[in-house]
Amino acid sequence: MSIKSKLDCPECGAPIYFESNLLLTGQSFSCSNSHCDVSIALTATDKEVVSDAFSKFEQIRNTASSQAG
Partner 1 sequence: MNTNIASQFSGLPMKALIGAPLKAATDANAMIANAQTQFILTTCFEKSNDSGNQLVPKMVNFTLSRSVIEKDGSISTQPIKMDISIPLMTLIPINSLAIEKLKVSFNMEVKSSREIKKKEDREQKDVPSKSRRTTMQGRRQRSTHGKKQNSEPSSKPQQAHDFETELHGSLAKSAQGEQQSSAAHASYEVTLEAGQLPLPNGITTILEIFSKNMMPLPSKQ
- Chain centre to alpha carbon of residue 16: 9
- Shortest spacing between CB 6 and partner 1, in angstroms: 8
The verdict on 10 binding partner 1 (CB under 8 A) reads yes
Burial of 19 (0-12, 13-18, 19+ CB in 10 A): middle
Residues 36-65 that bind partner 1 (CB under 8 A): 37-43, 45-46, 49-50, 52-54, 56-57, 60-61, 63-64
- Shortest spacing between CB 1 and partner 1, in angstroms: 13
Q: What are the backbone angles phi and psi of residue 59, rounded to the nearest 5°?
A: -65, -45
